[in-house]
């Protein structure tokens, strides 16, 4: 397995920031395709979402429709893998 990015962990995450595309069919997580791989626009810190705003805007213009940024704040531990 190739690891492309392995940043240092930070504080415990209690919120996620997600760019969503909206159209007449509903909502979906915005993703940018690079070399055939989809990178979903889901971030654990607002500063990272802010850094990706221009790309989200560009993807939205290419796709058409509306792009929104939402914050999810309900954390529930589902499983611990050790």
- pTM for the model stands at 0.79
Assess whether pLDDT exceeds 80 at residue 23. Answer: yes
Read off the pLDDT of residues 24-52 as tens digits, 9 standing for 90 and up.
899 999 988 888 988 999 999 899 999 99
Instruction: Work out the mean pLDDT of the chain and round it to a whole number.
Output: 87
Other Cβ atoms within 10 Å of 59 Cβ, number: 18
Q: What angle do CA 32, 35, 38 make, to 5 degrees?
A: 35
DSSP 8-class letter at 73: -
H or E segment at 34?
strand 31-34
Amino acid 3: pLDDT = 59
Amino acid 46: pLDDT = 93
């Amino acid at each position: 397995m190739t690891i492309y990015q392995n940043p240092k962990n930070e504080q415990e995450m209690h919120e996620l920031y997600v760019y969503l595309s909206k159209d007449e069919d509903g909502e979906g997580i915005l993703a940018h395709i690079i070399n055939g791989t989809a990178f979903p626009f889901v971030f654990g810190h607002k500063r990272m979402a802010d850094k990706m705003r221009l790309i989200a805007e560009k993807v939205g213009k290419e796709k058409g429709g509306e792009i929104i940024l939402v914050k999810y704040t309900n954390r529930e531990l589902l499983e611990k893998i050790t």
